[in-house]
Amino acid sequence: MTAQDAGGHGENRCAEVAGAPLGGLPELLDAGAYVTDDHGRIVRVNDRARTLLGRSAEDLLGQDAHDLLHRGSRGQTLPRAGCLMMRAFISGRTAQGEQEWFRRGDGSLLPLSWLVTPCRLDGRTGTLVLLHEPAPAEPAPAEAADGRRGGPTAPLSELERLALLAETTTQLTSTLDTDETLRRLTRLVVPRLADWAVVDLITENGEVWRTAVVHHENGALVTREDLQGPMPPVPQDSPMPLSRALRGAASTLAGPETYQGPPDSGIAVAQSELFRATGMHSAAIAPVHGLREVLGALTLGRSEHPGAFTSAELSLLDDIARRAGLALDNARLYQRQRRVAETMQRHLLPQLPRVPGLEMAARYVPAPHASQVGGDWYDAFTLPGGMIAAVIGDVAGHDLDAAAGMAQVRSMLRAYAWSHREAPSRIVGRLDRAVTQVSEASMATAVFAVVEETGDGRWRMRWTNAGHPPPLLVGHDGRTDFLTDGHGLLLGTGTSPDRTDADIALPPRSTLVLYTDGLVESPGRPIDDGLVRLRRHAAALAHRPLDAFCDLLLERVRPADNNEDDIALLLLRFPPGDRRPA
């Protein structure tokens, strides 16, 4: 189909399906199709698109198509400003692209050609997207025969070998998740090189764990969890192939006959059982080296395919295992640094004070997929005279520097609040000047509030806001109010702006919700959508116990596609109005 064809008939075709049940689109011969609304969210999808993308309708409908699917060659999210497809969406014109990368449900990348054209959707403007795979080259007869058997293809040519190694590098270096690295590794080699892929990894405490056993079966990859699990220790003097590989020795060819004699160790028994359970008649075993140590071993095995591994294929396995080792080493280093950063940040977050009649709950949740922790924090402490200070803040950045800057800003704010009996705006003004002079934090946002009992069993709050999302006050009757007064510039601009205070009487049994932007922000969606979602769910939880309120709010409000930001959440619930001071 040409761009002109789609441009001339796309609106009519899309108008015909606009009233169809959600997820319904006509089936095309060789093209996947989905329709987006004027916000870029998928509202229709056909079976072929679901098959191509490896995703169910539930995974696709309602999602931002660009953020969910479109990727660069290394798996990275494409900037919207530089994406030709997004330009076509925004401008309402027809456009097409060739062999660009789309992310499937299992995390793999699929090259697809695409065409977009505007259409009408339930009386509104939408966009029809057609996806199809580039036409494959005609296979050679031997390749076609191997493909029908479902096993490994004929020996790779030098060009195919280089292409596989390039793809291995691209796939494995575009993730820092160990499990995802292993999934991509097994998809690269099975069934292209083998019927079976087995990965044994040495854990950080020196144990061996059979982490992956994957088999190509009836056109799909099947994980044999029954063959996975802990392994016996690696003997230091065993000449057996897997033991040698786990000690870092050269790669080796092996077969069931290798393990027919009396076993010299428990790991040799496990290998003999593996050959018997899988039916492998030929295997190639290579060490997986990191930068400083042996990380494990990669075994490729053939059971259905009659050909044995050759020395040339063993050399290719060495190259693949070397790339896998670098990727796994990076993933382990990332996980180690992340654990250190998260531990440091959690220890920096305070214990909440116990205040008679006043309930408090707080949570800190690191970003699930971001590369490092961030600078989100909360704080609550007692001031001289019995008043309670409540703080929520966010230091710019997602790294250890941001976490260190957060600790400095939090400590300075505590010191100013304790040593100066001043209004919140003046305390935050002092903090603002200090941030620009002595803190490692570049910029930060914060809400600083002081709550106190008024003497009749009721409470009042005075606060100032330095560029932070507004607090939400939730009445016991479910009424909600964003506290937008007292708003000013964020910290660290160097402009020393005038700051103002706001004051409010807190209704009995009301709940104050202080949060950072990770709770309400989502890529490609306006923050107003997140604020509406927060208001709606907070109102529904008004009667819940405070800890349950806190946990359910995180579960229901946090955007599913926000994998780049952490969250700090601080809740205060005030007592009934008829309470009297002790």
CATH number of the domain bearing residue 59: 3.30.450.20
pLDDT at 20 exceeding the cut of 60:
no
Of 222, 211, 224, 186, nearest to 320 by C-alpha is 186
User: What is the chain's length?
Assistant: 582
pLDDT at 139 exceeding the cut of 60:
no
- Which pLDDT belongs to residue 3? 35
Q: How confident is the model at residue 274 (pLDDT cuts 50, 70, 90)?
A: very high
Q: How confident is the model over 442-488, as pLDDT tens digits?
A: 788 999 999 999 877 789 999 999 999 999 999 999 999 999 999 99
- The residue-averaged pLDDT of 82-96 equals 76
- Which pLDDT belongs to residue 142? 39
Is residue 156 in some structural domain?
Answer: no
Is residue 142 in some structural domain?
Answer: no
317, 337, 357 — which closes off a domain? 337
- Which pLDDT belongs to residue 370? 47
Burial class (CB in 10 A: 0-12, 13-18, 19+), 183: buried
Is the same domain home to 234 and 111?
Answer: no
Is residue 149 in some structural domain?
Answer: no
- Which pLDDT belongs to residue 219? 79
Is the same domain home to 47 and 109?
Answer: yes
251, 320 in Cβ contact below 8 A?
no
pLDDT at 254 exceeding the cut of 70:
yes
- Which pLDDT belongs to residue 6? 36
| Spatial separation of the C-alpha atoms in residues 556 and 260, rounded to whole Å | 57
- Which pLDDT belongs to residue 563? 56
196, 278 in Cβ contact below 8 A?
yes
Is the same domain home to 290 and 417?
Answer: no
- Which pLDDT belongs to residue 281? 94
213, 227 in Cβ contact below 8 A?
yes
- Which pLDDT belongs to residue 112? 87
Is the same domain home to 210 and 257?
Answer: yes
pLDDT at 31 exceeding the cut of 70:
yes
Supply the angle between the helices 158-173 and 178-189 in degrees, to the nearest 10: 160
- Which pLDDT belongs to residue 37? 85
Neighbours of 185 (CB within 10 A): 25
Is residue 580 in some structural domain?
Answer: no
Counts for the chain of helices (H) and strands (E), in that order: 15, 24
| Spatial separation of the C-alpha atoms in residues 126 and 114, rounded to whole Å | 16
85, 111, 132 — which closes off a domain? 132
Angle at 137 between CA 131 and CA 141, to 5 degrees: 135
Q: How confident is the model over 484-536, as pLDDT tens digits?
A: 999 999 998 888 888 999 999 999 999 999 999 989 988 777 888 999 999 99
- Which pLDDT belongs to residue 246? 94
Burial class (CB in 10 A: 0-12, 13-18, 19+), 373: buried
pLDDT at 46 exceeding the cut of 80:
yes
Is the same domain home to 311 and 250?
Answer: yes
Is residue 344 in some structural domain?
Answer: no
What average pLDDT does the structure give for the chain? 83
| Number of separate domains in the chain | 3
What percent of the chain has pLDDT above 90? Answer: 44
Is the same domain home to 266 and 360?
Answer: no
Q: How confident is the model over 208-232, as pLDDT tens digits?
A: 999 999 998 887 899 999 999 999 9
State which amino acid sits at residue 76.
Q
Q: How confident is the model at residue 332 (pLDDT cuts 50, 70, 90)?
A: confident
Strand residue runs (E) in 13-92: 32-36, 42-45, 70-71
Of 63, 62, 32, nearest to 46 by C-alpha is 32
Is the same domain home to 176 and 300?
Answer: yes
pLDDT at 385 exceeding the cut of 80:
yes
Q: How confident is the model over 349-381, as pLDDT tens digits?
A: 788 999 988 999 999 887 655 445 567 889 999
Is residue 581 in some structural domain?
Answer: no
- Which pLDDT belongs to residue 32? 86
- Which pLDDT belongs to residue 369? 52
Q: How confident is the model at residue 347 (pLDDT cuts 50, 70, 90)?
A: low
132, 150, 176 — which closes off a domain? 132
pLDDT at 5 exceeding the cut of 50:
no
Range with the poorest average pLDDT among 156-170, 199-213, 329-343:
329-343
Is the same domain home to 356 and 284?
Answer: no
pLDDT at 111 exceeding the cut of 50:
yes
Is the same domain home to 200 and 271?
Answer: yes
State which amino acid sits at residue 7.
G
Q: Phi and psi (nearest 5°) for 2? A: -85, 165
Is the same domain home to 389 and 528?
Answer: yes
Is residue 325 in some structural domain?
Answer: yes
pLDDT at 543 exceeding the cut of 70:
yes
Write the DSSP assignment of 486-540 as a string of letters: TEEPPBTSSS------EEEEEPTT-EEEEE-GGGT-BTTB-HHHHHHHHHHHHHH
Residue ranges making up the domain that contains 123: 3-132
- Which pLDDT belongs to residue 270? 93
- Which pLDDT belongs to residue 552? 95
| Spatial separation of the C-alpha atoms in residues 188 and 196, rounded to whole Å | 12
- Give residue 486's region: left, alpha or beta (phi > 0; psi -120 to 50): left
Is the same domain home to 237 and 325?
Answer: yes
What's CA 151's distance to the chain center, in Å?
A: 34
Q: Which two tokens stand for residue 274?
A: 């593996």
Burial class (CB in 10 A: 0-12, 13-18, 19+), 239: exposed
The whole model's pTM is what?
Answer: 0.51
- Which pLDDT belongs to residue 16? 37
Of 155, 109, 303, 140, nearest to 216 by C-alpha is 303
pLDDT at 10 exceeding the cut of 60:
no
Range with the poorest average pLDDT among 76-80, 333-337, 575-579:
575-579
557, 362 in Cβ contact below 8 A?
no
Q: How confident is the model over 399-427, as pLDDT tens digits?
A: 566 667 777 888 899 999 999 989 999 99
Go through 8-17 and write b for each residue having 16 or more CB atoms within 10 A of its CB, e for each that does not: eebbebbeeb
- Which pLDDT belongs to residue 229? 93
Is residue 504 in some structural domain?
Answer: yes
Q: Is 301 helix (H, G, I), strand (E, B) or coil?
A: strand
- The residue-averaged pLDDT of 74-103 equals 77
- Which pLDDT belongs to residue 564? 66
Is the same domain home to 330 and 201?
Answer: yes
Tabulate helix, strand, coil % of the chain (nearest 5): 35, 25, 35
Of 522, 565, 515, 568, nearest to 374 by C-alpha is 565
- Which pLDDT belongs to residue 368? 59
Neighbours of 530 (CB within 10 A): 22
Burial class (CB in 10 A: 0-12, 13-18, 19+), 122: exposed
Query: Residue 236 is part of a domain; what is its CATH number?
Result: 3.30.450.40
- Which pLDDT belongs to residue 520? 92
Q: Phi and psi (nearest 5°) for 281? A: -105, -15
288, 197 in Cβ contact below 8 A?
no
Q: pLDDT higher for 235 or 138?
A: 235
- The residue-averaged pLDDT of 76-87 equals 75
Strand residue runs (E) in 330-437: 359-365, 375-382, 388-395
Burial class (CB in 10 A: 0-12, 13-18, 19+), 553: buried
- Which pLDDT belongs to residue 342? 65
